[in-house]
Amino acid sequence: MLFKSNRISTADFSFLRNVVRILPAKWKYLHRQINTNCIVGKSRSQHMENGYFTLILDRASNDTSNYNLPELITLSGILVWDKKKQDYSEVQLDISFGSLIGFYVKSKYENLDWAKVDLSQFLENDYGKNIDESRVVVDKNLGDLNSKDRNKLDLGDVFSVEVNEQIYYTIKSIGDGDYVAIDKNGGVFFLKHDPLSVKKIAKNVDEYLKNVL
């Protein structure tokens, strides 16, 4: 079970499948990732405008990463007709190392007309035009970690969690909705969701990798 605010719905899955269905053929492989075995939740991006979500992946059981692919690509300019607004509404997908890690949508799902789409402005943006502050905080505190150490963490689907008015940024999934995360100062914490608890386990990521992981 996940933190209640992080649960993902069947409507979310249907939305993601509809987006991938209209994309160019090279992105069709993402269909295989849109299920409860790979995606276990979603988190609203707290440091960006409404509409941005980070997907919570079960990398412990199903890691779909391919580290030969770009670290972050944003697929933008996906325009879908909003029946209520009577205008096109943009949808975006974020992909990291080949894994679907997030999306952007402003319209309500039920208002989107998937029979009326426009890909004339479709773009594949390396590293994305919108970087979540969660990733900025994590990258800042990871410093000069080598690729071997980075691969021990789950950096493709970083997201923020608020507990007792403190913000934590996930760096590794432990499974069953529990995470290892850092705060803005780089301290490393274990976040347990049931019962909810936060425990500091290392003063920084280097110490965590050396003595805990």
28 vs 38: CA distance, rounded Å: 16
Strands (DSSP E) found in the chain: 39-44, 52-57, 73-82, 87-96, 99-105, 112-118, 123-126, 160-163, 166-175, 178-182, 188-193, 196-202
**Which pLDDT belongs to residue 46?**
57
Q: What is the pLDDT of residue 3?
A: 52
Residue 45: what pLDDT? 67
The two structure tokens encoding residue 7: 């649960």
- pLDDT the model gives residue 200: 96
Contact 2, 177 (CB under 8 A): yes
**Side chain identity at residue 162, one-letter code:** E
Bridge partners of 91, per DSSP, are: 78, 105
CB 47 within 8 A of CB 134: yes
- pLDDT given for residue 213 in this prediction: 63
CA distance 206 to 178: 21
φ/ψ (deg, to 5) at 134: -55, -45
3-state secondary structure of 168: strand
pLDDT at 162: 80
pLDDT per residue of the chain (213 residues) written in tens, 0 to 9: 445 457 899 999 999 999 999 999 999 999 999 999 999 888 876 555 578 888 888 877 778 888 778 878 899 999 999 999 999 999 999 998 899 999 999 999 999 999 999 999 999 987 544 456 777 788 888 877 887 888 888 887 788 888 888 889 999 988 777 889 999 999 999 998 777 889 999 999 999 998 876
Can you name the residues that pair with 42 across neighbouring β-strands? 55
Look at residue 148 in the predicted model and tell me its pLDDT. 83
* CA–CA distance, 187 with 125 (Å, rounded to integer): 32
Report which secondary-structure segment, H or E, holds 18: helix 10-21
